[in-house]
Structure 1
């Protein structure tokens, strides 16, 4: 899907890691939520409350779930899922455009 129709967008940006990761929240009429953002090269760890799907629209990175998980490569056009109540780390190699979908519990 290249665009979202009939949504609301929160104007205030989500800014992480001194501006190296930024996103905007997109709210859907059915109550679901996504964020659309950009990550600059670097290493970032995030914690999850609910399960997430990270869709990498463009860019290249490696990720792992937890502290001892295996590093996996993902490129633009690919995605990965993160379980609820966990942490994941991304090593972003190139500027990466992403869409994060928060899954209902």
Structure 2
């Protein structure tokens, strides 16, 4: 199931812009203090480092990702998610000519 709406949140209005604008996100805080980010990745191949563990939920578009230590690219589309360990990294790519990858990053 794809998350379409998140109620009762506080939004950081200044965007986080990474990789020369290829990834743009906003931080959100839920009423219970849980933090997440909501963003979009435009066509590109990028590498992200993690502090905390993350769950990347795709809400629109698609991407391929590769976790640290793996040689396998895995596709993720709307309604799917993947987990990334804390203190790690992952590669993500969105193919040129395809819809941008829209996501919610759930911090564990």
Post-superposition offset of 1:92: 1.0
Aligned equivalent of 2:23: 21
Q: What TM-score does the superposition give when structure 2 sets the normalisation length?
A: 0.89
Q: Is the 8 A contact 2:10 2:29 kept in 1?
A: yes
Aligned equivalent of 1:96: 101
Which consecutive residues of structure 2, in runs of 5 or more, have no partner in the other structure?
none
| Mapping 1:54-93, distance limit 5 Å | 54-93=56-95
Post-superposition offset of 1:67: 4.7
Post-superposition offset of 1:73: 0.9
Q: Which deviates more from structure 2 when the two are superposed, residues 80-89 or residues 69-78? A: 69-78
Q: Distance in 1 between matches of 2:8 and 2:68?
A: 36
Q: Is the 8 A contact 2:57 2:105 kept in 1?
A: yes
Q: Which deviates more from structure 2 when the two are superposed, residues 68-77 or residues 9-18? A: 68-77
Which consecutive residues of structure 1, in runs of 5 or more, have no partner in the other structure?
none
Q: What TM-score does the superposition give when structure 1 sets the normalisation length?
A: 0.91
Q: Distance in 2 between matches of 1:40 and 1:67?
A: 25
Structure 1 runs of 4+ aligned residues shifted over 3 Å read none
Q: What do the CA deviations read for 1:29-80 (whole angstroms, capped 9, x no partner)?
A: 2221111111101101101111100001111211011153421111111110
Say which of 26, 37, 40 aligns to 1:38.
40
Q: Distance in 2 between matches of 1:30 and 1:69?
A: 38
